Amino acid sequence: MGESRYPYLILSYCWGQTNDKAKTTKTKIVERHKHIAVSMLPKTIRDAIRLTRAMGYSYLWVDALCIKQSDKGHTGEWEVEAHKVGDYYANADCLISAAGYRDSREGFLSEGPVWKYPNRRSLVTHGTSSCGTKYVYVWAKMPEQDFSNDFAATPIKSRGWYFQERVLCPRRLHWTRNGLFWECNTVVTSEQQALRGDYPFEVLPDSQQTEMGSIYHEASQSVTIGETWMSLVNDYITMKLTVESDRLAAIHGIATRLADLHNDEYCAGIFRSQLARGLAWRIRDCDAILKGTPSLNFPTWSWAYPLQYPKRIDSVYATPHLASTSIVELVSFPKSPSLTDFGGISTRELIIKAPLLEVIVSFPIVDWLSHTNGPVKVSGQPEGQEKVPPSDGLLCYDRDMLDLLEQVLPEPITMTVAFLQYTNSSPTLLIGLCLKQLSKGRPRYEREGYIEFTLDTHREWIKDISASEITIV
């Protein structure tokens, strides 16, 4: 197309088990450059083509058709195309969302119950008039379209890639089992609402303001990249991906646009401007234990790391009404050429400057080992390093505590902690990461957990700790 951008629509759908006929592969590419047999495509794609023509558009983008897929030893174009997918959705005029359907064979242009079984509202009631006449009224409820309820029940809502597709495309047409909804960055409404005047008893919900546009319209960088971003992440990590290694790729388009909008830098789920907050995630479920060898190579410092295990995480920066001071500085993000492969050590190297101390931690309750999150007591530091005063704390360990403790009855242990931030309040909450050193010489560390201390004493001593350059992989 050269430098011109032709207007086009874009499809979002669940592939299901019957989408192979849609895939463009190396063996099909020559034939498809000549001709695409529409009649052989799954019904959802045929319906999207039909709708595209009806709306007066000449072009439709469909992932299985437009990105060469892997086939018989050929890897396809995914490594090249993964970082472009966000652009395809952001530049489309409108998203065709087959939200209510699990498999591409189903299609979406079927008649919904709202129109298949039309009826007026009726009320069944009875009583006696003032003159003694008995009466009966009939008033029965017709099927209603409610976006929040209908969309929450759709198969596509749990699809990981759909999260980015919906956020990036400025206009969305959602087909659910109960009918059609229109959504843009201002409002969401249903096809049923347009006919409100034909039904004298109709009581329909007002158009709802959508939250999709707020992430780009919020002027404050700290709100958008801090609170709003981590709120999106906490929703996103519960969604399903066929290939879990796509976890960072499937949200990359949103993140890079936010970075451009706020002149920020982004890598593997973390923004430079919100480095402390981005690193201070913790596993939400206190009974969650990450056992075994990770199947993926995500960096241990990224919130994507524990997602090879089905658990949510929590971002901990400070409560919203408390001001905080960051004491961590970014030196460099890793320079990874891929959004899905972090196999090499250099592709995972995050280099920061932060206070790095060893602290003595004890565990006050025996049954602490049944959880990964629990209370701890900080009793200071090894001899000759007295900086951290005794305090109470919370340790959120990323793995099985038995990997950390050699005895069933916990004894005090020494942990290496990189401090990230502290609250500007009394008492002071001091937040850091527990690290495990992997090598000497040029030391590299892995993250092992999140830790926080509650300090009743003055916090000026924190400012006196010199920062060390730390490499975390």
Whole-angstrom Cα distance, residue 43 to residue 25?
Answer: 20
Tell me which H or E stretch contains 208.
Answer: strand 208-209
Helix or strand or coil: residue 330? strand
Whole-angstrom Cα distance, residue 349 to residue 451?
Answer: 21
Whole-angstrom Cα distance, residue 261 to residue 257?
Answer: 6
Residue 458 has pLDDT above 90, yes or no: no
Helix or strand or coil: residue 215? helix
Residue 77 is predicted with a pLDDT of 83
Structure tokens belonging to residue 297:
């190579």
What backbone phi and psi angles, to 5 degrees, belong to 421?
A: -170, 165
pLDDT digits (tens, 9 = 90+) for 339-351: 667 878 888 999 9
- Which residue reads 């790391």 in tokens? 305
Instruction: Identify residue 61 by its one-letter amino acid code.
Output: W
Residue 202 has pLDDT above 50, yes or no: no
The DSSP secondary structure of 44-61, one letter per residue, reads HHHHHHHHHHHTT-S-EE
Query: How much is the average pLDDT of 40-58?
Result: 97
> Which residues, in sequence order, are CB contacts of 221 under 8 Å at separation 6+?
262, 264, 273
CA distances for 23 relative to 9, 50, 318, 382, 425, angstroms: 19, 19, 47, 61, 57
pLDDT digits (tens, 9 = 90+) for 245-294: 889 999 999 999 999 989 999 999 999 999 998 999 887 665 555 555 66
More confident residue, 293 or 430: 430
pTM, to two decimals = 0.82
Residue 371 has pLDDT above 50, yes or no: yes
Maximum distance among all Cα pairs of the chain, rounded to whole angstroms:
100
Phi-psi region of 2 (alpha: psi -120 to 50; beta: other; left: phi over 0): left
Residue 201 is predicted with a pLDDT of 33
Residue 242 has pLDDT above 50, yes or no: yes
What backbone phi and psi angles, to 5 degrees, belong to 194?
A: -65, -20
Do 257 and 224 touch, CB atoms closer than 8 A? no
More confident residue, 180 or 377: 180
Query: How much is the average pLDDT of 405-422?
Result: 77
Residue from 397, 429, 431, 425 nearest 413 by CA: 397
Whole-angstrom Cα distance, residue 335 to residue 347?
Answer: 6
Residue from 201, 264, 190, 183 nearest 229 by CA: 264
Structure tokens belonging to residue 125:
């009631």
Residue 195 is predicted with a pLDDT of 44
Structure tokens belonging to residue 241:
């991906």
Rounded (10°) angle between helices 160-168 and 252-261? 40
167-201: b or e for each residue (b if 16 or more CB lie within 10 Å)?
A: bbbbebbbbbebbbbbbebeebbbebeeeeeeeee
Structure tokens belonging to residue 134:
């008995």
Do 180 and 108 touch, CB atoms closer than 8 A? no
Report the DSSP pairing between strands 281-283 and 373-378.
unpaired
Residue 374 is predicted with a pLDDT of 73
Query: How much is the average pLDDT of 15-35?
Result: 90
Tell me which H or E stretch contains 85.
Answer: helix 85-91
Strand partners, 352: 330, 470
Strands of 254-349, DSSP E: 266-267, 270-271, 281-283, 313-315, 324-326, 329-332
Domain boundaries, the chain: 9-111+145-212, 280-472
Residue 145 has pLDDT above 70, yes or no: yes
More confident residue, 207 or 112: 112
Residue from 388, 393, 375, 390 nearest 452 by CA: 393
Residue 120 has pLDDT above 80, yes or no: no
Residue 203 has pLDDT above 50, yes or no: no
Helix or strand or coil: residue 328? coil
* Size (the chain), residues: 473
Whole-angstrom Cα distance, residue 90 to residue 86?
Answer: 6
| Sheet strands side by side (includes 9-12) | 60-61, 9-12, 94-97, 171-176, 179-184, 187-190, 208-209
Instruction: Please give the torsion angle defined by the CA atoms of residues 448, 444, 79 and 87, in that order, rounded to the nearest 10 degrees.
Output: 70
The DSSP secondary-structure symbol of 116 reads: H
CA angle 122, 125, 127 (to 5 degrees): 145
